[in-house]
Structure 1
């Protein structure tokens, strides 16, 4: 099992991994969860998959086991910034409620957003904890590498247990809300305690 942080500047080094990452997202979000998201050529994507973002992939060769996206809260592309903030501002017009945060979504160079967290449905139960751990560890390393001291994340209601097992300091910063297929909640992940 390997972990790779992908960006537009290094994706040429990883062959099919970048495309397979988006194929795995399609399988997870469109096929398994039946979410109505953009797709083409068997890949799921949205307006936040820009050169400003980074993508963390846990993989076995070119087979993607898990992944997530990191986007700076200072991001700007047309009318869009980052998903949590745009949902709060009512720009998305979809199933994510505007009142998903207790406070106003930040725009801060040291705060990044972590979204589209997934573990492939066919990852065996015997290695799922290890996959979660690799995903979270690489997320932290990547975030620290871009200068983040805090992450915002919109997670399924089981992710707080994963963060706790990985000794991640995550606090709820919004209400538990039903989105499409389950309960989700915004959390703030404090990376300051992980700085060495």
Structure 2
């Protein structure tokens, strides 16, 4: 099992891995969860998939098992910044604007994690190892990018699974139901992540 962090600058070194990641996202979010998201050529994408972002793929035997997107909170593309901030500003109709207990930060030391998924094809006896590798690569990549903190919208049962991985994050917003899922914004201090 491998972990690869992709960017616009290095994607050419990894063949079609980004394409496979975006296809796995489509399967997870559009096909399985029935979310109304943009798609093209079998890939899910949105306005936050820009050169400012990074994508982490956990993959094995030519198949993407899990993925996540990282976007700096300093990102700007036209009228968009990053998902949590734009939702707070009322720009995303499917996400409540009261999702965060404070004003969404714009800080080069804080990155947003989004589009987190574990493929349904990941065998149950591998899921914990896949989750752990995804989180470890997320922490490593974020630190390499200069981040001190990660802000992300996660399933509301995140304290249970993140604790099993030996990690810690704080809730920074209310539990909400979006697209049939209970979710909550959480903040992870990377100084506490000793992995």
- Asked if TM exceeds 0.5, the reply is yes
- Tell me by how many angstroms 1:130 deviates: 0.4
Secondary structure of 1:192's match? Answer: coil
How far apart in 2 are the matches of 1:165 and 1:107? 30
Offset of residue 160 of structure 1: 2.2
What is the number of equivalent residue pairs in this alignment?
195
How many angstroms apart in 2 are the aligned matches of 1:152 and 1:71? Answer: 10
List runs of 5+ in structure 1 lacking aligned partners.
none
Partner of 1:42: 42
Report the counterpart of residue 140 of structure 1 in structure 2.
Answer: 139
Q: Which residue of 1 aligns with 2:3?
A: 3
Contact persistence 1:169–1:189 (CA under 8 A) = yes
Matching residue of 2:65: 65
For residues 177 and 15 of structure 2, what CA distance do their matches in structure 1 show?
Answer: 37
* Other structure's SS at 1:71 match: strand
Checking the alignment, whether the CA contact within 8 Å between 1:168 and 1:190 is kept in structure 2 is: no
Match of 1:88 in 2: 88
Alpha carbons 1:88, 1:97 under 8 Å: kept: yes
Q: Secondary structure at the match of 1:135?
A: helix
Aligned counterpart, 2:20: 20
2:122 — aligned with what?
A: 123
SS at match of 1:116: strand
Question: How far 1:61 moved relative to its partner?
Answer: 3.6
Question: Residue 170 of structure 2 corresponds to which residue in structure 1?
Answer: 171
SS at match of 2:58: strand
- In the alignment, the residues of structure 2 paired with residue 160 and residue 194 of structure 1 have an alpha-carbon distance, to the nearest angstrom, of 15
Q: CA deviation at 1:11?
A: 0.3
Contact 1:37 1:45 in 2 (8 A): yes
Counterpart contact for 1:16–1:62, Cα < 8 Å: no
After superposition, the CA RMSD in angstroms is 1.1
How far 1:122 sits from its partner (Å)? 1.5
Q: Deviations over 1:111-166 (max 9, x none)?
A: 00000000001111110000000000000000000000000010112322222122
Q: Quote the offset at 1:195 in angstroms.
A: 6.0
Structure 2 residues without counterparts, runs of 5 or longer:
none
Structure 1: which 4+ aligned runs deviate by more than 3 Å?
Answer: none
State the distance in 1 between where 2:168 and 2:97 align.
25
Distance 2:70 2:158 in 1: 16
Which residue does 1:181 correspond to in 2? 180
1:158 aligns with 157
Which TM-score applies when normalising by structure 1? 0.97
Report the secondary structure of 1:65's partner residue.
strand
